[in-house]
Amino acid sequence: MIVRRIAAPPDAVLAAAAEPITTGFADPGPARIEDGTVRWTTTDDIAREVERIADVRPDGSGSIVSLYAVVTFDLPYFGLLFRPLVGRAVRRSLEHIGDVIEARASGPPAPPEPTRPFWAGRDPIPPRRAATVAAICAVLFVGGYCGSLFTQTLDYLAKSFHATDANLGVALAVTRIGVLVGLAGSILADRRGRRRILLVSITGVCAMTAFSALTPNLGSFGALQVFVRGFVQLGGVVGYVAVTEEAPEGSRAFLLALAGMAAGAGFALGAGLLPIADVASGAWRLMFAIGGLGLLLLPGLARRLPETERYASMSARAAGAHASELVDSTYGGRFAIVAAMGFLLGLFGSPSLQFTNRYLSDVRGYSATGILWLRSITQGVPGLAGILIGGRLAESHGRKPVAARATLALGVTSVVFFLTGGISLWVGMLLATIAGAMGGPAITAFNTELFPTEVRGRAGATLLAFSVVGAASGLLLVGYLADPLGDVGKAVALTCVAPVIVALFLIPRLPEARGRALDDLSPPEV
């Protein structure tokens, strides 16, 4: 509770409280005044309901104002993380209300209008939409965890299945076939809806991951991982599409950033549980069994994950939409640009990700512990901070400038990382991590915002295919050039020209989406 003594009679204080007040978070609705008590109710910003109350009592020639709030908050899955943030924002709003009432009633200078909390996006997020995005983030979190396990446990799999490096390489390559699952499911999302496909994806991911814990050999394990990878990609494509469709215009990139953080947190959980695999031979299987526990989320997700409002309102036309809209005169140009971006970023990103540990070990002489320390310090917190900052900057400064500058910085700093040693290697990885994370929300927004609702799933599926082809091309290119150039670092450094091309020549040709309604930015063809 906040108590203020104001040098004005109660009638003046109540009159001041009756005028509209802006607080920067869950702005109070119209004041209701009865028996010296003012109530403002808000139901349009993350919390299901925020009721702010001011009790005004006479105090000699002045008044005593007691301000407090009752918050009804039931955000699913991530409520524990956001509840204290909401509580702090509401308390700050009460302090501001007290300042405003005092200024209006007794004459001190009016306080400056408060800014919206950093973590809440630029536009208010209605509670229903916040709950939907939270449910989607839960799907992405589970997918991030299950999708990380094959790579995380590679050495333990080799020992259990007596597999050679060549065997593991074949298994990793075969899992790329899973893109077909992602392609087919993402296309179906335009006909069957986002909700149904997301539920199918988490069911498939968890079931196939759990079955992977029981496999007797690398062949059967690899076959199941094809479907794990496919369902993870399916959930990612459709999940980001659904977030885009649910988000307010001024908070789309920021909510896409939070969705990316959820997927990244799932990946980090896989890394954090890796010590389980050291407990005993075959203990890695427990990590996969844990992934199967995600099936317990299904009943709650089925209740809490509605169809996106945008898809539901346009589903009649969606059933008759044609993929040709992606290559027609309206959207063909932007689709070609975004597809080229996906190919080039895959050409760079996949070898950069896959060969980093090998480069550090073989070229720079890092031990496994040294690699762990390097990645923990330069990629953990800096990556999360970069995603949040990039999401907010994409809302305030625009997708194009943020994406272009971050992608250019990613290419340049990655060259530093792959061609130098010592402190410059650490600085290169740190800056590349931050740059890549900052550009991520805007790049993701390009993939979803620039196409109409009716074909947004098909667009995501086709863009995924271009990205996979780019990734495969990059891996082949680096593998072929590593020996002639002398080491894998120099080969990966050559691919860094790809993000530079994206930043300088492709991103500037796209339309700016900041603050624009989806139907204005990507209207359906009629």
In a domain, 120, yes or no: no
- Does 298 lie in the same domain as 239? yes
Query: Of 301, 320, 339, which closes a domain?
Result: 320
Cβ-based neighbours of 124, under 8 Å, separated by 6 or more: 26, 27, 44, 45, 46, 248
Q: Which of these, 297, 235, 275, 261, lies nearest to 383 by C-alpha position?
A: 261
User: What are the two backbone dihedrals, phi and then psi, of residue 511, each rounded to the nearest 5 degrees?
Assistant: -70, 150
d(CA 501, CA 132): 36
In a domain, 340, yes or no: yes
d(CA 142, CA 293): 10
Q: How many CB atoms lie within 10 A of CB 526?
A: 4
Cβ-based neighbours of 130, under 8 Å, separated by 6 or more: 46, 75
Is the CB of residue 220 less than 8 Å from the CB of residue 404? no
Apex 463 CA angle, 457 and 469, nearest 5:
140
In a domain, 272, yes or no: yes
How crowded is the C-beta side of 14, counted as CA atoms within 13 Å? 15
Is the CB of residue 489 less than 8 Å from the CB of residue 366? no
Strand partners, 62: 59
Query: Of 56, 84, 111, which closes a domain?
Result: 111
In a domain, 40, yes or no: yes
How crowded is the C-beta side of 488, counted as CA atoms within 13 Å? 18
In a domain, 121, yes or no: no
- Does 339 lie in the same domain as 301? no
Is the CB of residue 94 less than 8 Å from the CB of residue 2? yes
- Does 520 lie in the same domain as 413? yes
Helices (H) and strands (E) in the chain, counts: 21, 5
d(CA 230, CA 232): 5
User: What are the two backbone dihedrals, phi and then psi, of residue 42, each rounded to the nearest 5 degrees?
Assistant: -125, 135
Q: Which of these, 1, 52, 4, 53, lies nearest to 25 by C-alpha position?
A: 52
In a domain, 103, yes or no: yes
In a domain, 119, yes or no: no
Predicted confidence at residue 408, as pLDDT, reads 98
- Does 242 lie in the same domain as 204? yes
Predicted confidence at residue 315, as pLDDT, reads 62
- Does 212 lie in the same domain as 83? no
d(CA 260, CA 244): 12
Predicted confidence at residue 323, as pLDDT, reads 53
- Does 339 lie in the same domain as 311? no
- Does 171 lie in the same domain as 106? no
At 79, which CATH number?
3.30.530.20
Q: Which of these, 179, 161, 190, lies nearest to 308 by C-alpha position?
A: 190
Write out the residue range of the structural domain in which residue 512 sits.
326-526
Predicted confidence at residue 326, as pLDDT, reads 65
Helix ranges (DSSP H) in 110-213: 127-152, 154-161, 165-175, 179-192, 194-212
Predicted confidence at residue 318, as pLDDT, reads 45
- Does 330 lie in the same domain as 316? no
In a domain, 134, yes or no: yes
d(CA 435, CA 407): 7
At 285, which CATH number?
1.20.1250.20
Helix ranges (DSSP H) in 275-380: 284-292, 298-304, 309-318, 332-358, 368-379
> Which segments in the chain show pLDDT lower than 50?
318-320, 526
- Does 241 lie in the same domain as 281? yes
- Does 210 lie in the same domain as 72? no
Instruction: Give me the number of domains the chain comprises.
Output: 3
Whole-angstrom distance between the N-terminal and C-terminal Cα of the chain?
55
- Does 404 lie in the same domain as 288? no
Query: Of 320, 352, 384, which closes a domain?
Result: 320
Q: How many CB atoms lie within 10 A of CB 155?
A: 12
- The distance from CA 19 to its chain's CA centroid, rounded to whole angstroms, is 38
Helix ranges (DSSP H) in 359-455: 368-379, 381-396, 399-419, 422-449
Apex 79 CA angle, 118 and 386, nearest 5:
35
- Does 275 lie in the same domain as 192? yes
